[in-house]
Amino acid sequence: MSLNKILLIGNLGSDPEIRHTQSGKPVTSFSVATNRRFKTEGEVHQETEWFHVVTFGRLAEICSEFLKKGKPVFIEGRMHTRNWVDAEGVKHFRTEVIGEAMTLIGKRNGDNGDTQAPENPDPF
């Protein structure tokens, strides 16, 4: 038995970049930063970890439309490491999160933070 699952809650480090495969399938890529606070000998430290996220298909279109740099997001997916050889013959490796689900968290666009419920003209 094996499992390759990652859950991330963090802030977007960049707006999603959308492109299309040769067959026309949409692909987005963007970065997500997570922060961890911890104490060492009474001193508080913060550590930021960056993740490169890639999404495909309809999810890629949704990410491109709704995600913006700095906004909080919840990503569910799997880790994948790809490799390639560049024009100079140098082999490169990149570990990415293949996003399989995305949930917007925090305030909606245009939300001014007002917590008052909207008026309901017909409460019954």
List the domain boundaries for the chain: 6-104
CA dist 1 and 78 (Å) reads 16
Q: Is 31 exposed, middle or buried (0-12, 13-18, 19+ CB in 10 A)?
A: middle
Q: pTM score, two decimals?
A: 0.78
**CA dihedral sign, ordered 88, 94, 100, 105:** negative
- Model confidence band, residue 108 (pLDDT cutoffs 50, 70, 90): low
Q: Where are the beta strands (DSSP E) in 1-124?
A: 6-12, 17-20, 26-40, 43-56, 72-85, 91-104
- Model confidence band, residue 111 (pLDDT cutoffs 50, 70, 90): low
Class of domain 6-104: mainly beta
- pLDDT, mean of residues 105-124: 46
Contact 97, 8 (CB under 8 A): yes
From the CA atom positions of the chain, what is the Rg in Å?
19
pLDDT tens digits, one per residue of 63-105: 999 999 999 999 999 999 999 999 999 999 999 999 999 999 9
pLDDT at 110: 53
Q: Give backbone dihedrals phi and psi of 67, rounded to 5 degrees, phi first.
A: -90, 140
